[in-house]
Structure 1
Amino acid sequence: MSDAASETQQSICAWAEETFGPAKSAATLHARALPEMEELSDALRTGDRQEVAHELADIVILLYRVAQESGVDLHTAIDEKMAINRARQWVPAGDGTGKHVK
């Protein structure tokens, strides 16, 4: 695909399977995502925006594969979870994060 905006969970997972072979398990893919999170941390520390973007993309690609392996459409799951989040009450932590009230 030449247009990155046209990528989907399915097209990314198909490419990954063609390139790397079938995933052993969702847990294996999750384990592979952990070093990518460290690489994202490094990129954030250095402030290299392009590297931050690439590391974020690597993580999302792996999350798509975890979702696919788990039988989850990630975009549907995000929509469902945002509906839950929007219905909750939240306590801001003052740092751009927070917790929901149970």
Structure 2
Amino acid sequence: MRTMTSVEAQNRFGELLDTAQREPVTITRRGRPVVYVVSQQEYEAFSQGLETAKQQTSLAAAQAAIAAFRGKGKGGAVERLLEDRRIDREREA
């Protein structure tokens, strides 16, 4: 990963953009990292990873809430409910 000071980034903005297309660039101020510049592709991949993590966290929270409400494992009701929810989401997509 390349590192530039904030003054270098300002004075060499075109170079910063070119470099960020190939690899992430750390911008420092007073010797401390303050910003990372990444390409659009890297940003989108990162954003999708965060969205996936949020969805997994939400699903785990939903499973826990349903299990607490219905009672853990009584007749597989939780599993059936989650499966029905998954099927509904697939139909909507």
Fold match (TM-score > 0.5)? no
Higher Rg? 2
Tell me the TM-score normalized by structure 2. 0.32
Of structures 1 and 2, the one with the larger relative CO (CA 8 A, separation 6+) is 1
